Chain A
Amino acid sequence: MTDTMNTFEPAPLPATPPERISAWEYALAAVVLAACLLAGLALADTKAPAPAVGVLRFASEIDFASASRLIDMLEAARRDDGLAAVVLEVSSPGGFATSSESIFYALLSLREAKPLVVVVDGLAASGGYYMAAAGNRIYAPPSSYVGNVGTRGGRPSDPALAPDELSSGPYKLEGGSRFDQIHQLDLVRNSFLTNVVNQRTHAALNPLTLAPEELAEARIYLGSEAVALGIIDGEGGRPEGIKAAAELAGLTSYDIVDVPAYLGMEPIISGGEEMVASAQAMLAGAPPGTIFALDSRIPFPEAELPANLQHLRKPRAGADFTWRTGGAPAATFAGSLAPAASRP
């Protein structure tokens, strides 16, 4: 025997060849990654859109309707996380004092949440400037008009008994004596003035340097004058306003959106070329005793002079002055008999 037995040594396994990622797998992976990127970007746009600076244009006289719509829009803008800042572009002669105040407080509320920059587009007088005073910044072109801080109202009347009704108190019908009404005009003006002075004296960029008494004289200032007096913060238009808003919001990249469209609401633009006529229509339709924060250069609607007395109109102090029907002779019996052609 041989002692060598035959021993089995397994044969060495053949070497496992390395896994190769095929080209199509790379391609597929690339497509998948690209798709994920796109999906990620889309997701980011949807769930975390880029911050936007919203531009909201208000070009109207301030009445109950326009104020209500603006306040709704401001409230929606305040709650919308996509809007990082708001630029309010104002072109308004003002209007009702109460509506102007409401807008002012709504803007203050917005300003608590996000930056608000006001840009004057030509005119922000009286109530229009009241709105502007709520902004972090106010910009206006040099030739625009701002200011006219004051109130207006019809001449008060004295209490009188109405022949067709009884009331429970002496001022139920008029709301107060003649001097009560005059005093209230001043009180509203004081609120307006105090709020404006308060906001502007605390302005970070260009605080107010004008004395309150001077501001109370209700002058209208050019944009260039207003900058010098601290009534506004700087000269400029919409681009400057957007830039300032973005800066205040700490944005380096952002979208610019039109707020009404962004929020799916109607823009607030009325009056336009016929701003004066539109404001006068507002005046004519205002409830009795309304106090206005309205551009003083917009005249109150005058009583119609009878046609047969138009030739007797005479100008007063350069303004068109109508000798009102109160002084005109009342209709007479003989007058009613006059030929039709000669009657008004």
Chain B
Amino acid sequence: MKRSTFWILVAVAGLLLATGPMLWRYMEQQTPQAAYTPPTVPTAAVAATPIPTATPLAVAQASVATGEEVRRGPVVVDLAHYSAVERNRFQPLASALAEQGVDLRFWLPTVSLDNVTQFSDFPDQSETLQRELSGASALVVVSPYFLYSAKEVQVVEQFLADGGRLLIISDPDVESDAARDTNSLAAPLNIVFNEDYLYDTVDNDENYTYFFQGDFFDQAEALAGSRIAFYGGRSIDGAVIPQVRSASTTLSSLRTGQTGFTTGATGGVEAGGSLGRVLALSDFDVLTDPYVARHDNRRLLAFVAEFLAGGERNHSIADFPAALGKEVALVIDDSAPVGAQGLVKAAELQRVLELSGRQMRLGPTTWVSNSIAADGNDLIYVASYEAAERDTPLLADLGLSLVTEIVTPTASAPTATPAVESDSPAPAPATTPAETPATTPTPTMVPELPQTTPAPEIPPVTPGAADVTATATVVPVSRLAQAQAATPAPTETPSPAPEATPEPATGESTGTAEAAATATPAPDVTEPVAPPAPTPTEQVYLVREDGIRLLADETQLFVQRAIDDEHKILAVLGESEAAINAGLTRLLTRDLTGCLIQDELVICPYVPGTGETSTAAPAAAAQAPAGESATLPAKDGDPAPAGDDSSQAILIVDDNRNAAEGEIGEAELYAALLAAAGYQPTLWSTNDSGYPAVDKLQEYAWIIWSDAIYSNSGLRGQALQTVGDAINAGAKVTVSSRMPFFGVSAEPASPIVDVVIGSDVPELVEGISSEPIPLPAGLPDVVPLNSDPEPSTGARIAMRRGPASKAGEAPVLMVYSDENFDEPKGAKLMLFGMSIAWLPDDLAPKLVESMAAFMLAE
């Protein structure tokens, strides 16, 4: 082969080798791509047509409820168990009820969740519930967060037995809802909400959880054929009468394989008298906007409203004035003329009756004595037992009679309690000067303090509910301070340090009485002497035929009897004017706490000398004068009641409930200093009267909450809640406590040796030296107040610990206000983190007077 040919061949071969793989690859890749055919899938047709806007229809004209002579009891909605439902969602139901002539009101939550330590600790509110339901037509409960207590269930059961109605709803898409928790109220009424939710993927109102109802039964039969949807609902079981059932295509999230669930039912217990008075529904949304306007949902709303308004309450005395007709006559025992105070009470009665659509006038006693249906009126009869027994058959009809016996009390061993030696008359309670003194001393009365010189006049205490009698006298602050040095620090402080008992001081007081030391008796304590022989006294009893004897002066009765088929008489009876007053107050506030309640007779306790029983909250709705001293009827010679200037009304709460035996508080010192400054404070003892209700506190322009002297000083528990609620309601409160809770720092307790005035509130410390003011030695430790409070509290410091004190510069006297808060209500809180008794004698009166001027200023 020629060389050239060879090389030509090599070149050709080389070219082929160089290009062949590439060409071969190209050919190979073409094939696979040609081998792939994408699938042919037709384009999916997705209908996405928006729902056309419906042509608006005119809202049905609401009709005016006619034929209602007397205002019917409201429907009460329970929000106090923290249902997560806004009030505005009840608007459609309120409108539907209004067409039935019934209004709707809310029982709002009052329990502070900060005080609930765990879920099961939610406090019982049966007493409040009882008050809320008095006079009500129906109760509505929607998905409560907290459980109903056993007592609350009993109250509801009784309410139902009296003819009230209940709507109970467990809605699975309400945030507070859990069927098992709603069942705490439902199950005792034979209704059980299941934990499932219902859904319908075939026929629904825009979402699978918005299912339509299929069948209507019993009372709801008139809804047959309606297109009614529930917007998140569950199934209901129990011994119920189904009213509404879901459609056959509706399924359950839990109860697989079943359909036709009950979603609305009536229940109740026949034995308890509640059968048919409970309506259970498993959806709340259907009764609210915007759901209620869809399809035929309004018909269900009307059905529910009709059910709620359809009850016939058997109104008892506790439902005053629901048991009375439109025309009411007030008949007063004519053994004494009706004075100004009597007219005030009558006016209160009239106002309460008018608010419910009733009319009241005064009627003659002959209407009662003759048992005549007086001119078509129901009667309210106010009289003493004696008059009632004499003029009416009321007591006799109940098998009661008045029996007077002579009682010779047993002489009791004298105690070492220091006796008052003052020549000045002991101030008497203004309202009951003619009361027969009790044969046994009230064990809770504050011991009288010894005096070396006549005590200054102390104005009579105006009794509210069980006020402490004003036996306070001015005491030397230094004496009290020394006495206090024996007491340990408050329990909240981490290191209480009990002090040694001091020697009683002598010669330090100038013209003031001396206090009894808590550790050692004062040197001038009167040695007990043998009391005089007891004098036999008359004791009146109410004796029933079966032998039951009631102390007439410690009992107050309400009696309700039928005069004829259509009219009735409601009698308010007592042994004394004070007792009758207490009864009227209970009636006006519908507070029968502590009373034995039967259909026609209510027996309430009354403590003579205190004006009212401990749990009565007089006239929250009435504009009573401060001090609650109204009498009905007033007798000649009674001192004029306390002034009616509510803008200056001061209440001093002596929080002595946890005080040790024999401990004397500083409340009386406050009272004396204020009295000296021209004020007329009212004293309240928590040991005697419990904690005052918030609405009671709101009657006063300034409240002093005092416990700084006591060994167990400290705001906690119910005291704390009461004060907190009062502040949140806009009250002006001074807390004088060594552990006021509010505004305290996290520092440990330490002694206050001296104090200096601050510059933030000059009007509070006017006339007080700017030099450090020493305090007596040996005072108990105090938790320092917070010197860096939040700006929104408007805190100002009026007095601080002095340079010689531990935690120097920490506030001692601070003032807060809610003016910078989101919704200011005019609340003021003054914290005095020590006792007023520790200040020098010349300083305490100035400070208290300045406090009064500051807190009472508009």
Contacts and interface: CB of A to CB of B under 8 A. Distances in A.
A317 B2 contact: no
A69 to B, nearest CB: 24
Interface string B683-723: 00000000000000000000000000000000000000001
Contacts of A216: 201
Interface in B11-51: 13-26, 28-29, 31-36, 38-42, 44-48, 50-51
A111 B207 CA distance: 34
A32 B10 contact: yes
B462 interface: no
Contacts of A191: 46, 48
A343 B27 CA distance: 79
Contact of B3 (A21, A182, A309, A338): A21
A100 B825 CA distance: 53
Given A19-B2, A309-B113, A334 B786 contact: no
Interface residues of A, number: 79
A169 interface: no
B36 A29 contact: no
B551 to A, nearest CB: 42
B727 interface: yes
A37 B195 contact: no
B1 A40 contact: no
Interface in A299-344: 308-309, 311-312, 314, 316-317, 323-324, 326-329, 331-342
A247 to B, nearest CB: 10
**A25, A191, A328, A329 — which one has the most chain B CB atoms within 10 A of its CB?**
A329
Interface stretch (A2-10, A54-62, A194-202): A194-202
Contacts of B22: 40, 43-44, 47-48
Contacts of B816: 337
A33 B746 contact: no
A198 B26 contact: no
A337 B720 CA distance: 12
A217 B201 contact: yes
Contacts, number: 207
Ranked nearest first, the 10 interchain pairs of A and B with the lowest CB-CB distance are: A250-B35, A48-B25, A36-B14, A44-B21, A250-B32, A334-B724, A198-B44, A40-B18, A44-B22, A327-B84
Interface residues of B, number: 88
Interface in B113-128: 113-114, 116-119
B320 interface: no
Contacts of B90: none
A79 interface: no
B564 interface: no
Interface string B809-843: 00000001010011001010100000000000000
Contacts of A217: 201
Interface centre among A331, A338, A341 (most CB of B within 10 A): A338
Nearest to B196: A317
B217 interface: no
Interface in B185-220: 195, 201-202, 206-207, 210
Interface stretch (B63-71, B237-245, B626-634, B737-745): B737-745
A238 interface: no
Contact of B36 (A19, A47, A115, A312): A115
A79 B91 CA distance: 62
Nearest to A37: B17
Given A29-B6, A317-B195, A323-B145, A336 B793 contact: yes
Interface string A244-268: 0000111100000000000000000
A337 B825 CA distance: 15
B566 interface: no
Interface stretch (A119-127, A173-181, A278-286): A173-181
A162 to B, nearest CB: 17
Contact of B50 (A36, A178, A180): A180
B21 A339 contact: no
B82 A41 contact: no
20 contacts: A25-B3, A32-B14, A37-B17, A41-B21, A48-B25, A112-B38, A158-B290, A179-B206, A190-B48, A191-B46, A198-B42, A213-B201, A216-B201, A312-B113, A329-B109, A329-B113, A332-B728, A334-B723, A334-B724, A339-B744
B293 to A, nearest CB: 10
A217 B251 CA distance: 12
A339 B741 contact: yes
Nearest to A134: B41
Contacts of A198: 41-42, 44
A169 B484 CA distance: 72
Contact of A324 (B42, B84, B116, B294): B84
B7 interface: yes
Contacts of B10: 29, 32-33
Given A317-B178, A339-B743, 7 more contacts: A25-B6, A39-B17, A177-B290, A198-B41, A250-B31, A340-B745, A341-B746
Nearest to A49: B25
Give the residue among B31, B41, B42, B790 with the most A Cβ atoms within 10 A: B41
A324 B175 contact: yes
Contacts of B114: 308, 335, 338, 342
B145 A190 contact: no
Contact of A314 (B40, B112, B178, B786): B178
Contacts of B177: 316
A333 B145 contact: no
A186 interface: yes
Contacts of B41: 198-199, 202
Contacts of B294: 179
A255 B176 CA distance: 60
A84 interface: yes
B792 interface: yes
A57 to B, nearest CB: 23
A298 interface: no
A341 B744 CA distance: 10
A207 B2 CA distance: 69
A328 B42 CA distance: 54
Given A182-B207, A317-B195, A336-B793, A187 B21 contact: no
Contacts of B818: 333
A323 B728 contact: no
Contact of A336 (B23, B290, B792): B792
A184 B15 CA distance: 66
A176 B176 CA distance: 27
A177 B44 CA distance: 28
B33 A187 contact: no
A177 to B, nearest CB: 7
A334 B548 CA distance: 49
Contacts of A49: 25
Given A51-B29, A183-B50, A324-B84, A333 B821 contact: yes
B82 A250 contact: no
Contacts of B23: 48
Given A19-B2, A327-B175, A333-B827, A251 B32 contact: yes
B728 A333 contact: yes
Contacts of A316: 177-178
A208 interface: no
Contact of A326 (B14, B24, B175): B175
Interface string A192-229: 00110111001010000000010011000000000000
B827 A29 contact: no
A294 B35 CA distance: 37
Given A314-B119, A327-B175, A21 B1 contact: yes
Of B48, B84, B116, B289, most A-chain CB atoms within 10 Å = B48
B47 A190 contact: yes
Contacts of B210: 182
A321 B655 CA distance: 41
A312 B206 contact: no
Given A183-B51, A327-B82, A335-B114, A44 B24 contact: yes
A249 B35 contact: yes
A50 interface: yes
Contact of B17 (A33, A50, A329): A33
